[in-house]
Amino acid sequence: MKTNLPLKPRGRNAILTLTAIVLTVLGGGLFAVPRFMATLYGAAVSADSTNAARPAGAAILALGVLAWLTRRRSKPHVRLEFRCSSSGLS
């Protein structure tokens, strides 16, 4: 089966593995220790920034887990389907 993807499966797996590691470390850091991550990047530390960093870290961590789980898929791409039932799109 011929695909139009520019990367071979081995290269795609390597990129997804690297992406998963980077996103998991960044998301886990923002979720677990947001004050340390803020000082690491030189950002101002406040209660508002800490409260905003935790949900952002959880979302980034979820993307890292998704990249890790999809790195060994046999299909050339992963399809995500979003349904907007409230706006009438399906």
Give me the DSSP letters along 16-46: HHHHHHHHHHHHHHHHH-HHHHHHHHTPPP-
pLDDT tens sequence across 31-67: 999 999 988 888 888 888 889 899 999 999 999 998 8
pLDDT at 3: 57
> Which two structure tokens, joined as six digits, stand for 52?
């905003």
**pLDDT tier, 15 (very low <50, low <70, confident <90, very high otherwise):** confident
pTM: 0.69
Taking the C-alpha atoms of residue 30 and residue 41, their distance in angstroms, rounded to an integer, is 11
Mean pLDDT of 2-19: 74
Query: Which of 26-30, 56-60, 73-77 is predicted with the least confidence, judged by mean pLDDT?
Result: 73-77
